[in-house]
Amino acid sequence: MSGLLGKKIRMTQVFDDTGRSIPVTVINAGPCYVSQIKTADKDGYHAIQIGYMELKEKHAKKPVVGHLKKADLKPLKYLREFDLPLNEEVQIGDELKVDMFKEGEEVVVSGYAKGRGFQGVMKRHGFHGGQKTHGQSDRARAPGSIGQSSDPSRVYKNMKMAGRMGNNRVTIPLVEIVKIDTERNLIFVKGPVPGAPNSLVEIKKV
């Protein structure tokens, strides 16, 4: 398998054999269930669809409930697709757990960053702001000039300006797995990962 779904729990620290402190993020990964297998003959590509986090049927959407009943599975909150290696065999309904990863392995972690709402250019883009002397009283956090005068008489697209910040998909490559707790389905990865506590994260093999 090439990946797993999980839930970000919190950040903490662990200590290695030399007593060095390592900052880690705790992810509750799996168990996930194989809900669909895509094939080149039928779908045009090889992939696997997995589901995570069981729901009560009354809280799930009816099309999802019907789709998962074909696989003999209970309603699941999240469904995602991952690449399926051609030499790997899986069956619909298989349970996937954290034992598919190893300590010391590097993985790719994806999630949605925290939403920061509407922010100015200093917080959103790291602008320095205007000078605080020579009569400037209200331009300390302003972006400055955003365009030209008579030509081209417009503001170019993609200009860095104030706006909504965060709540975008972020992918961090080559994140080291420091520790795995198979009994509690926990993965401890080195450093921070995107998202708020209890948000969904994807863990993929490199």
Q: What is the mean pLDDT of the chain?
A: 91
* DSSP H helix total and E strand total for the chain: 3, 12
pLDDT, tens only, 114-158? 999 999 999 999 999 888 888 888 889 999 888 888 888 889 999
Is 163:117 a contact under the CB 8 Å cutoff?
no
pTM, two decimal places: 0.82
pLDDT at 133: 86
pLDDT for 173 beyond 90: yes
Residues with Cβ within 8 Å of 171's Cβ and at least 6 positions away in sequence, in order, are 108, 109, 110
How many Å apart are CA 101 and CA 106, to the nearest integer? 9
**Alpha-carbon Rg for the chain in angstroms:** 23
Domains along the chain? 3-120+168-205 (2.40.30.10), 121-166 (no CATH)
pLDDT for 91 beyond 90: no
Average the pLDDT over each of 57-66, 84-93, 95-104, 161-170 and give the range with the smallest value: 84-93
